[in-house]
Amino acid sequence: MWQIISVTLLVALLLNSIYPAILLSSFEPLNVFRGITVLAIKDTYLRKGLVVLQFTISVILIASTFIIYRQMVFIQQSDPGYNRSQVLSFALPFSMRREKRVDLMETFKQELLAQSSIESVIAVNQPLVNLGSMCTECADWEGRNPTFNPQLAQLSTDDDFFKTMQPQMLEGRWFQKDRTTDKHNFILNETAIKELNIKKPIIGQPFIFKGDTGQIVGVVKDFNYKSLHEKIGPLVIFNNNLWHSYLMVRIAPKNTAAGLAAIENIWKKHLEDTPIEYHFLDDSFNELYKADQQTANLILGFAVIAVFISALGLFGLAMFTAERRTKEIGIRKVSGASISSIITLLSTEFVRLVIIASILAFPIAWWAIALLTVSFQAIRAAVANPVESLRSE
């Protein structure tokens, strides 16, 4: 931010120094009486043009700030498709053997559920807010074109996920603890059903994922498992505890302090030499949009500076105009013109300039925001490492 501000100030100083220098060095007395500058442009037109330019930039920045603010409000108020309130996540040490980690996670879960301050606990392979677990060439189903290998998001969780996170089922059911076959069954989101072109009836169809054969037992309504900047993609949900590395805990309302204390005590009981690191889903969600918030603050700062500079320019132009039209104003007053009519006469010209600047600025700001958003995603996709895109877990 300071680099941008420094460069802006440097350019402004240079421009404010160069123009007077060129103007004075090419001074021709006759042009003063003609009102012509070094660029052979009428002074009046140049002044008005600069005012319009200043206000156009100001309005663009103000409109951009407003648009980004509305986007941030939309993000904060949008429904991600699940209930993330009062939920935190923490990982067990990744250095731990997988079988030992599975047993310890079950122990954690039972001991946490015994606490009155804890509502529910689930095990997952990754936190839900920013799921980065993806694979390609890892699924097969009836009617699949052999050359069609889409990238699939993969979420491994348990039978308590539905009760804890409260997603919406469109068809079928969630995993059930008393059904051992559910260890090999799958739930797909609605985007997966569409993009994989799975024909009806969906429930009961065979599905192969990561070498495990089972059936589709449910279709869940799309929920955001990544940033809202990204389109919801196909998601496969399965129930394999060997994948689980994180616990997600919902703390009872108004029991945050007691819930955190319970989690830390149970952690110290089993992993005394390892510090716990937990993150609330709301905080992780907000962290995804930290850059957006910083951009909004930066644009707001430039908007304030631009409005101030534009106001100074308009004030200077008003003073100059009033000074040049002193005799005209005196004649009008002697002729009976009221103060309000004189103010209207002098103000109309400047209001017109501001309106012109606004007409120019609003579409520019709108399209600029849209273009920056699309360009960001396009550049990100273009520079992505193909090895990462094609990698399977």
Tokens 């409000």 correspond to 73
Pairwise CA distance, residues 296 & 284, whole Å = 19
Residue 223, classed as helix, strand or coil, is coil
Give tens-digit pLDDT for 41-96: 555 677 677 777 877 887 887 887 788 788 888 887 888 899 988 999 999 998 88
Per-residue pLDDT for the chain (393 aa), expressed as one digit of tens each? 778 778 877 887 777 666 666 656 655 665 555 555 544 455 567 767 777 787 788 788 788 778 878 888 888 788 889 998 899 999 999 888 888 999 999 999 999 999 999 999 999 999 888 888 899 999 999 989 889 999 999 999 999 999 999 999 999 999 998 899 999 999 999 999 999 999 889 999 999 999 999 999 999 999 999 888 888 999 999 999 999 999 999 999 989 999 999 999 999 999 988 999 999 998 888 888 888 888 788 878 877 887 777 777 767 777 777 777 778 778 878 888 888 887 787 777 777 877 888 888 878 777 777 666 666 556 655 665 555 444 444
Pairwise CA distance, residues 189 & 202, whole Å = 12
- Please state whether the predicted TM-score (pTM) of the whole model is above 0.85: no
Read off the amino acid at residue 381: A
User: What is the phi/psi pair of residue 141, to 5°?
Assistant: -160, 170
Give tens-digit pLDDT for 252-272: 998 999 999 999 999 999 998
DSSP state of 252: P
Confidence (pLDDT) at 22: 65
For residue 318, give both structure tokens: 């008003």
Inter-residue contact 191 to 222 (CB < 8 Å): yes
